[in-house]
Amino acid sequence: MSDAIKRIFPLGFPWETEDPFLFCVYHLDHYPKGNEQMEPAVSLEGRNLGNDFTIKDGWRMYHGQTVPGFPYHPHRGFETITIVNKGFCDHSDSLGAAGRFGLGDVQWMTAGRGVQHSEMFPLLNTQADNPLELFQIWLNLPKANKFVDPHFKMLWHEDIPVIKQEEAEIKIIAGNFLNNIAPSPAPNS
């Protein structure tokens, strides 16, 4: 078992993967207090608004101009699994779905034949900082499923099995582990 680890990749932005059909990205932003419009309650001067991926003062605006995040953009032919451990994400899409999730919730979105959506990070706390920790995986759909109807499903943190082993907590968001079955991401399930 001494050769079980084949290669170690540095955790960059995004994560390097060997598979071109897999994309992983980890966001950890230490956002400041928000204002009444859910924007940073600090100056945005000196930021490359619309394309701010450089960590400055511990956080990034990404493609957001006022509220951090990713305004409307298209997806097609793959699935995204978004886990928000800290903070919140406001989702809206071309299918008419909209909502806020966070604090351990998981969104499973199948883009299929195409969907436009927005993922914004509202800074709700006006009295203290607004940390955001988000992990996202993009999975390329197999050829037979490329043009399925798009849908998304929320896996609320209260419904996600959590296994505690030694010093680790394992959230089961797909499949099963030690007889604990994840909620299904399939529509209408």
What is the DSSP secondary-structure string of 6-65? -------SSB--S-TTEEEEEEEEEE--B-TTSSBSS--TTS-TTSB-S-BTTB--BT-S
Query: Tell me, what's the pLDDT at 188?
Result: 59
Query: Tell me, what's the pLDDT at 18?
Result: 62
Averaged pLDDT in 10-residue chunks for the chain of 189 residues:
67 62 85 97 95 95 96 92 96 92 94 94 97 92 92 93 91 91 78
Query: Tell me, what's the pLDDT at 149?
Result: 93
Query: Tell me, what's the pLDDT at 184?
Result: 86
Query: Tell me, what's the pLDDT at 14?
Result: 64
Domain boundaries along the sequence of the chain: 24-181
Write out the CATH class of domain 24-181.
mainly beta
